[in-house]
């Protein structure tokens, strides 16, 4: 017998323009030329080592993957991320569901980051019409078109347009694909249900994004650099909107996970930079690396020469170069460090603010000259 389900259709959604935000992309964005805050001598040494390894990886056409949490976007670091991919130093960016949302809200309205405590008390937190409707619609259409999670939102921001297929087109897709491509037929059926439920008119939907030049997702889409989104069901505010559809979002998110895993499969001699995101980044890397190592060892060429730098604000007095601490040591419970320390290769931990680290990294890379990759 099915359990009762919460009915999202009764939720009161307010216009996004009515929300007070704590962050403005015009006011709070970080210029790539801004000086980083002071870093310790040990931190500087670690960054210098990382720069040398990144330059070597790009010289050898190996991937440099950068995963980050939502605070990297909230802290206005998109311009720095854009420079890193435009100049060819970073070949893949990955974030969680909240990172996707903040980047879109900045691009769409120039502001993001609501007051959670106050809005929870008023029953308003997360119940914002444009965020829920637009991002879910972009993901739903993107899944039907075969796009990934971050790719679908990046395409929306860069193009400032969504093309809503007609019911007739979707029915033809269902009938045509059901025998040869049942997965595509299912995606068409799911999108058809969304279009019918919300009575969406087919055709071109124009959605201006005034601040798209400060969107990391849009830049990645424009440059053809993978920007993968790695959400968890129920973890982000777009799951509160009734247009949220698990089947369609699952397709887009799975595509991004497999794109991420493909990048990890080439990580031998490459770089993985994990900035914040203490849950998402180590977990998707661990599973991707397990699959990649499975194939690599089967070919007799295990992945051994990868370099991982983990950056966060938590204090750790354990030398992670020694491997995993014993269970009675507090550092054992820094889960992200523990996970990465188990992945072989070389792992470093750097305690720093993400703004200081990314600025110092970018400016040090720039002093190296053009990326050889």
Q: Is the pLDDT of residue 373 over 80?
A: no
pLDDT tens-place string over residues 142-159: 999 999 999 999 999 999
Domain-wise residue ranges, the chain: 25-96+212-367
> Rounded to an integer, what distance in angstroms lies between the CA atom of residue 228 and that of residue 148?
7
- Architecture of the CATH domain 25-96+212-367: 3-Layer(aba) Sandwich (3.40)
- Predicted local distance difference test score (pLDDT) of residue 20: 96
Q: Is the pLDDT of residue 141 over 80?
A: yes
Q: Is the pLDDT of residue 197 over 90?
A: yes
Q: What is the dihedral of CA 93, 98, 101, 107, to 10 degrees?
A: -60
pLDDT tens-place string over residues 251-293: 999 999 999 999 999 999 999 999 987 789 999 999 999 999 9
pLDDT tens-place string over residues 302-338: 999 999 999 999 888 888 878 888 898 888 888 889 9
pTM of full prediction above 0.85: yes
Evaluate whether 167 touches 192 at the Cβ level (below 8 Å): yes
pLDDT tens-place string over residues 71-106: 999 999 999 999 999 999 999 999 999 999 999 999
Three-state DSSP at 92 gives: strand
pLDDT tens-place string over residues 204-226: 999 999 999 999 999 999 999 99
Evaluate whether 53 touches 309 at the Cβ level (below 8 Å): no
Could you list the beta-strand ranges (E) of the chain: 21-24, 64-68, 92-96, 111-114, 161-164, 203-206, 227-230, 271-275, 307-312, 346-351
């Amino acid at each position: 017998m099915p359990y009762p389900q919460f009915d999202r259709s009764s939720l009161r959604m307010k216009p996004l323009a009515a929300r007070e935000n704590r962050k403005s992309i015009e006011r709070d964005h970080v210029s790539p030329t801004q000086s980083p805050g002071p870093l310790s001598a040990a931190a500087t040494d670690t960054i210098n080592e990382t720069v040398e390894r990144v330059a070597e990886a790009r010289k050898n056409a190996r991937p440099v993957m950068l995963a980050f949490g939502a605070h990297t976007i909230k802290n206005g670091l998109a311009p720095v991320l854009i420079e890193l991919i435009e100049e060819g130093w970073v070949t893949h960016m990955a974030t969680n569901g909240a990172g996707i949302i903040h980047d879109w809200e900045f691009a769409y309205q120039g502001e993001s980051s609501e007051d959670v405590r106050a809005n929870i008390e008023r029953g308003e937190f997360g119940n914002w019409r444009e965020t829920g409707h637009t991002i879910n619609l972009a993901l739903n259409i993107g899944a039907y078109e075969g796009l990934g999670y971050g790719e679908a939102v990046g395409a929306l921001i860069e193009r400032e347009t969504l093309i809503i297929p007609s019911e007739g087109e979707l029915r033809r897709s269902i009938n045509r694909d059901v025998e040869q491509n049942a997965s595509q037929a299912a995606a068409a059926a799911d999108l058809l249900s969304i279009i019918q439920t919300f009575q969406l008119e087919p055709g071109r939907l124009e959605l201006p994004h005034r601040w798209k030049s400060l969107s990391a997702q849009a830049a990645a889409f424009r440059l053809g650099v993978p920007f993968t989104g790695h959400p968890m069901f129920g973890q982000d505010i777009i799951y509160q909107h009734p247009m949220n559809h698990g089947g369609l979002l699952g397709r887009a998110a799975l595509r991004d996970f497999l794109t991420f895993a493909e990048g990890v499969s080439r990580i031998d001699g490459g770089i993985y930079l994990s900035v914040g995101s203490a849950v998402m980044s180590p977990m998707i890397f661990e599973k991707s690396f397990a699959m990649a190592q499975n194939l690599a060892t089967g070919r007799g060429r295990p992945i051994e020469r990868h370099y991982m730098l983990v950056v966060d604000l938590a204090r750790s007095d354990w030398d992670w170069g020694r491997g995993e601490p014993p269970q009675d040591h507090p550092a054992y419970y820094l889960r992200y460090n523990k996970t990465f320390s188990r992945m072989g290769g070389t792992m470093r931990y750097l305690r720093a603010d993400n703004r200081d680290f990314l600025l110092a990294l970018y400016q040090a890379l720039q002093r190296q000259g053009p990326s050889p990759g």
